[in-house]
Copies of this chain bind each other. A is one copy, B any other.
Amino acid sequence: MRTFIIKANKAHTKADFKLKDLPGTSGRIDLLCRVLNSAFLLSHGFRKNVRVWLSLYGPPNPPKAIRFEGQGMKPKTLNPDELSTAKLIIKALKVGENLREPSKEIQVLPGIYVSNLTFEDIIRRTLKGATLYYLHEEGRPIERVNFSQNVAFVLGDHEGLTPEDEAFLSGIAEKVSIGRKSYLASHVVAYVNIFLDSITPPP
């Protein structure tokens, strides 16, 4: 089982942006769409052993969390193109708009849930069942890590995690690197997935 947690500090927490201009109006929801593509999609296939948490902290109602559960999702729900994925996120934000409870999750579609969970809530839940890693340029080279069967990876958005996020993770998540360059989050997720496929047995 593989979990990817992406903290998107600018991503809008209400569907108040333009589908035609995601980079300019949504706090980079386009980036989250590409991360979902990399996390779940194979050529003519779908990774059921993946979970993705989007942890959104942009205006106007942070935090919002959207959980995508490979086990529960219908494979045809997620398509490769950015716009159709953005529509799923918009749908989740609309369903979650009047939610007040801090920890209740509402189902948006099979396998997709929206809530007001914080980044810290997500990390604490994840730690119960998986070993946590923080993907970072300066971490331990991925080929030297001994992965267990349940792994979870935290990534930042285009601006990376804040010092506060990093302070929270220190001591609970080992830093892991796929190289010394700084890559786009979606490329990192694609690389990690393909790398993990080569391990026997793959997580």
Contact = CB atoms under 8 A, between A and B. Distances in A.
Contacts of A22: 81, 83
Given A194-B183, A194-B187, A158 B83 contact: no
Interface string A186-198: 1100110110011
Contacts of A81: 22-23, 30, 82
B184 A42 contact: yes
A129 to B, nearest CB: 25
Total identical chains = 2
A38 B194 CA distance: 15
A118 interface: no
Given A43-B158, A190-B190, A23 B80 contact: yes
A186 B187 CA distance: 9
A162 to B, nearest CB: 16
A161 to B, nearest CB: 13
Interface residues of A, number: 34
A182 interface: yes
Contacts of A43: 158, 181-184
Interface of A: 20, 22-23, 30-31, 34, 37-38, 41-45, 79-84, 158, 178-179, 181-184, 186-187, 190-191, 193-194, 197-198
19 contacts: A23-B79, A23-B80, A23-B81, A23-B84, A30-B80, A30-B81, A30-B82, A31-B80, A34-B34, A38-B190, A41-B184, A42-B182, A43-B181, A81-B82, A82-B83, A179-B194, A181-B197, A186-B190, A191-B191
Given A42-B181, A80-B184, 16 more contacts: A22-B81, A23-B80, A23-B84, A30-B81, A38-B187, A38-B190, A42-B183, A42-B184, A43-B181, A44-B182, A83-B83, A178-B194, A181-B197, A183-B194, A186-B190, A187-B190
